[in-house]
Amino acid sequence: MTLRGRLTSAFLVVVLGPVLLGSIFVALTVGAVNRERTTERLDHAEATVSASVGAICRQLQAAADAVAVVPADSRAPVVDQLVARGLATAITVTDPDQPIMSRSGVSSDSGTPGWKDCADPAPAAGQAPAGETGQAAAGQAAAEQAGAGRVGEEGRAGEKPTAIAASAYAAEVTVTAAQQIDAALLDRLGETAGAGVALGTGPPAAAGAAHRDLTAAPGRPLDLHLSVPVRESPLRYVLLPLIVLVTAAVAILAARWLARSTTRPLGDLAWAADRVANGDLDTRVPIPRPDELGRLAGTFNRMTRELQSYVQALTASRDQLRRHLAILGDTLSSTHDLDRILPVILRTAMTATGARAGLIVLADPADGRLAARCGSGLTGDWDVPAAELSQRRLEPGRGVLGTVAATGSPLRGATGADPDEPGCESYLAVPICAPPNEDADPEPGVLGVLALYDRLGGPAFEDSDLRTLRTFAGQAGVAVHNVRVHEEAQRLSLTDPLTGLWNYRYLREVLRREVERASRFGRMLTVLVLDLDHFKEVNDTYGHTAGDQVLGEFARRIRIGLREVDVAFRQGGEEFVVLLPETDAYGGVIVAERLGAAVRDWPVPVDPRRPDLADRISISVSIGIAVFPEHGATAQQVLDAADDALYVAKNAGRDTYRLAERVSADLPVGHLEAAPSVTGGPQPPRHGRGR
């Protein structure tokens, strides 16, 4: 017997049984689908209404915050503008120094019950907790004056809430923004959710409808009743019996048709498989009916569609990777900012490997600990802002990241090895090393670690991911090395190589910046100009090597005698400048006396070039003091005033200090009593200070 004959006989034997069973199955499926659709509609309506009410609460909170942060005399226009733009129905401001102000600025002592607080909807607005009654009453009074209307009457009756409100606090000021609850608002919620929306808990569902009650919660301060109609399909009552009767009547006729048509889908499936094998992924097999061959055809079509989507995804990933690599190249070539370079490298590495999260840590040159520089997709304790993430420190040799940093070898595993590191199911960590330098160090140390977590689309990271991540770690190493070289070169260009202090070039920039800041915040800035006395004799007697030792020791004593915020510079030769931010003339005098004593009381040990010379040199310093803005309105004027005061100190016999003219009467006298006016006394020539 042929395949067609066997199919015909089998159909005639079992046709009625499968038809009946299929009818029952369809009926049950239709009922289950209807119930699921009704539940889905209620879930959708609940989520939509909750999101809409939450959005109204966030809008009210933003309006209250906007009013709270403005000055008292500017609140009324802001309130009117917010209400006019429809961001709130009513806004009230409660200030102990001012009367209660509603949107129109009218004072009121009465309140309107029925307000629901977005943050805490449990107590009614008329029953606010202790300490907040006045604020709630003030907000409700504004709602009454803003035109609560019919909803306000319902609130006074104690039946339903009349408005939802959000409050903001600034010092002793309370700002409450409210949105009126009316039929229009409920209608809008119903249109958005696709369901009927009513306040309170509703009655039992009517015939042909399903309902759900939503209780008040933070962010959704209303008790709401949702209802959706239930649509009954006539399939179970009319179509299914009709299908059974028609099928029984035409069973014999259909048997021959079925046998003949069964072989055609097989031929179509073989033809389509051949086309797909040749690369035509747009080929689809027609599905004549939902039988085994139809399911086979549907599975084949689904497989072809998924294969096509995979190819498209791979193409998109390739294009995206190319774009990221282009961005990475542009970033590496155009900036020395690690805060811009490292996130680009991390995102590109995550895209290339399909990782869920990633982290870059760099070794701190100061203490060798690993500092987190950037992260993406981290969870748990590591899901923090970038500023807080940068404070994380890890010990070398501990955990996965510490081990990679200490050994310089990559690690790959299924779980994290240290509780202080990001949690994950799988990880891949490679060291970040500087590019090798054959002239300096052919095997440079580890600069940091690049780690990825939880590979999407696979159980764990593979060897190909390790090779890819090594490439990006190499790019990160080049970037970090270049940035540090650039920073070191920039530091060397701004520092004096002999003393280690900032040089004259950097003095001009810092002095201008400090003067601008002192002027902006109304602070004082004291400038000290220091000059070693008789330094030329030191060079002539002991040689320039001893002179360099004296300058280095003098710079060290300056650093010891200053605060962390104070800045010292070598202006040139034996002349130095010290900036004392937020310091007045009295503080400048104290620092000058301390520095003068530190130089005078301890001779500098040197290596004498002749046996008849002492191995210690006694030195002293003359100091000129000027204060911004008392002695100059600009950076240059203050520096010139301190320099002129230094001339006066030199003429007064050296080893002393002098303050520029216009010194306040309450400053200490000491050396200042003999200090002549900078502009009043004879001035020495600019060249030939005789130091």
Residue 669 has pLDDT above 60, yes or no: no
Arithmetic mean of pLDDT over the chain: 76
Residue 456: the pLDDT is 80
Residue 249 has pLDDT above 80, yes or no: no
Residue 144 has pLDDT above 60, yes or no: no
Domain boundary pick from 463, 488, 513: 488
Question: Which two structure tokens, joined as six digits, stand for 608?
Answer: 């004498």
Per-residue H/E/C for 193-262: HCCEEEECCCCCCCCCEEEEEECCECCECCCEEEEEECCCCCHHHHHHHHHHHHHHHCHHHHHHHHHHHH
Distance CA 120, CA 5 (A): 75
Question: Which two structure tokens, joined as six digits, stand for 456?
Answer: 């999407």
Residue 612 has pLDDT above 80, yes or no: no
Residue 137 has pLDDT above 50, yes or no: no
Residue 678: the pLDDT is 36
For residues 533 and 466, state if they share a domain: no
* Contact assessment for residue 281 and residue 304, using Cβ atoms and an 8 Å cutoff: yes
Residue 474 has pLDDT above 50, yes or no: yes
Q: Is 687 helix (H, G, I), strand (E, B) or coil?
A: coil
What value does the mean pLDDT take over residues 247-271? 71
C-alpha count within 13 angstroms, C-beta hemisphere, residue 421: 30
At residue 146 the predicted structure's pLDDT band, cuts being 50, 70 and 90, is very low
Residues 6+ apart with CB under 8 A from 211: 42, 202, 204, 205, 225, 226, 227, 228
Is residue 257 in a domain?
Answer: no
| Closest-CA residue to 546 (of 503, 469, 604, 463) | 604
CA distances to 66, 132, 323 from 75, in Å = 9, 21, 49
Distance CA 198, CA 674 (A): 90
* Contact assessment for residue 556 and residue 619, using Cβ atoms and an 8 Å cutoff: no
Pairing of strands 621-628, 657-659: parallel
Residue 140: the pLDDT is 44
For residues 451 and 594, state if they share a domain: no
CA distances to 13, 268, 317, 332 from 281, in Å = 40, 15, 19, 40
Residues 6+ apart with CB under 8 A from 90: 83, 102, 103, 139, 142, 143, 145, 146, 148, 163, 177, 178, 180
At residue 405 the predicted structure's pLDDT band, cuts being 50, 70 and 90, is confident
For residues 644 and 504, state if they share a domain: yes
Residue 530: the pLDDT is 93
At residue 93 the predicted structure's pLDDT band, cuts being 50, 70 and 90, is confident
Residue 665 has pLDDT above 70, yes or no: no
Is residue 378 in a domain?
Answer: yes
Domain boundary pick from 472, 488, 504: 488
* Contact assessment for residue 424 and residue 400, using Cβ atoms and an 8 Å cutoff: no
Is residue 169 in a domain?
Answer: yes
How much of the chain, in percent, has pLDDT values that exceed 70? Answer: 74
| Closest-CA residue to 623 (of 672, 551, 673) | 672
For residues 617 and 638, state if they share a domain: yes
At residue 621 the predicted structure's pLDDT band, cuts being 50, 70 and 90, is very high
What value does the mean pLDDT take over residues 66-89? 85
Residues 6+ apart with CB under 8 A from 316: none
Is residue 471 in a domain?
Answer: yes
For residues 465 and 543, state if they share a domain: no
* Contact assessment for residue 498 and residue 552, using Cβ atoms and an 8 Å cutoff: yes
For residues 544 and 637, state if they share a domain: yes
- Number of domain units in the chain: 3
Give the residue with greater pLDDT, 675 vs 321.
Answer: 321
Could you please report the per-residue DSSP string of 327-378?
HHHHHHHH---HHHHHHHHHHHHHHHHTEEEEEEEEE-TTT--EEEEEEES-
For residues 655 and 578, state if they share a domain: yes
What value does the mean pLDDT take over residues 448-459? 84
Burial class (CB in 10 A: 0-12, 13-18, 19+), 363: buried
Give strand ranges (E) for 96-230. 98-101, 115-117, 163-170, 173-180, 196-199, 209-214, 224-229
For residues 556 and 517, state if they share a domain: yes
Is residue 284 in a domain?
Answer: no
Backbone phi and psi for residue 647, each to the nearest 5 degrees, phi listed first: -60, -45
Is residue 139 in a domain?
Answer: yes
Domain span holding position 476: 335-488
Residue 572 has pLDDT above 50, yes or no: yes
For residues 364 and 500, state if they share a domain: no
Phi-psi region of 664 (alpha: psi -120 to 50; beta: other; left: phi over 0): beta
Domain boundary pick from 435, 469, 488: 488
* Contact assessment for residue 179 and residue 221, using Cβ atoms and an 8 Å cutoff: no
For residues 532 and 419, state if they share a domain: no
Residue 411 has pLDDT above 80, yes or no: yes
For residues 389 and 421, state if they share a domain: yes
- Domain CATH code at residue 468: 3.30.450.40
629: cis peptide before it, omega within 30°?
yes
- Residue in the block written with tokens 């072989």: 263
Is residue 684 in a domain?
Answer: no
- Domain CATH code at residue 548: 3.30.70.270
Query: What spatial distance separates the first Cα and last Cα of the chain, rounded to whole Å?
Result: 126
Question: Which two structure tokens, joined as six digits, stand for 600?
Answer: 């005078």
For residues 504 and 360, state if they share a domain: no
Distance CA 433, CA 435 (A): 6
Return the minimum-mean-pLDDT range out of 134-143, 209-218, 504-513: 134-143
Task: Give the torsion through C-alpha atoms of 500, 504, 505, 511, to 10 deg.
Answer: 100
Is residue 267 in a domain?
Answer: no
Question: Quick count: other Cβ atoms within 10 Å of Cβ 653?
Answer: 11
| Entry pTM | 0.37
